Amino acid sequence: MLQANQLLIERHFEPVFAPVDLQVQARELWLVTGANGAGKTTLLRLLAGLLRPSNGSVRCTAPAMRFLGHALGLKEDLTVTENLAFAAALNGRGDLSLDDAITEVGLDEARFQAARTLSAGQRKRCALARLLLSPATLWLLDEPYANLDAQGVGLVDRLLEGQLSRGGSCVMSTHGALRPPDLPYRELVVQRAVARV
């Protein structure tokens, strides 16, 4: 579904992390771990095609991909419903209705609230609802657990389980302080590149 060969990116002529090889198959959950600043976010952005690798290649054969970064892509001045309606129009809509998706992520009461009035956790939930609305075979999630309460963490685990059982796959990053999901997963450790002297 997603293949990376000797993937490397340089910033100021220094590699960010040691070359990465990755092969994501259907029904696989990959955890990208590493210390703060190791380059997890950079790696995910490379895999999403937002950055151009300095060396190596990324090949994505998944028909549709969703990316969830640190910047959630919500418009502050739009309500939860409006934000999700736009995402659904942009990415196409699956079987789930807008209302069901909002209920699923537990934002029923905040449905008509502008995104700027939401808490960080609620924003994250709103962004997660996008994953429910428009099915994609490949998810790239950057720290999906950040800002979420215990229920929210459960929600992410539920979403991941659903994704894997549908035959999709997911690559997510986590800095390790949060427990890995109760699902079989494979781990990719991002290591800081050895500094050239």
Partner 1 sequence: MSGQVFLPLLKRDLLLAFRRRSEVLQPLIFLLVVVSLFPIGVGPGPQILARIAVGVIWIAALLATVLSLDSLFRSDFEDGSLEQLVISGHPLALVALAKVLAHWLVAGLPLVLLSPLLAVWMNLGEGGLMVLVISLALGTPILSLLGAIGSALTVSLRGGGQLLSLLVFPLYVPILIMATSAVTSATDGLPYLGQLGLIAAGLVAALTLAPWAIAAALKLSLE
- Interface residues with partner 1 (CB under 8 A) are 48-52, 63-67, 69-78, 82, 86-93, 134
Q: How far is the CB of 184 from partner 1 (least distance, A)?
A: 27
Of 20 and 131, CB closest to partner 1: 131
Min CB(72)–partner 1 separation in Å: 6
Q: How far is the CB of 197 from partner 1 (least distance, A)?
A: 27
Least Å distance, CB 179 to partner 1, is 26
Closer residue to partner 1, CB minimum distance, 12 or 52: 52
Q: Which is nearer to partner 1, 40 or 66 (CB)?
A: 66
Distance CA 180, CA 25 (A): 19
Question: Which of 93, 41, 36 lies closest to 67, judged by CA?
Answer: 41
Q: How far apart are CA 168 and CA 163, in angstroms?
A: 5
Residues 6+ apart with CB under 8 A from 67: 44, 48, 50, 139, 140, 141, 142
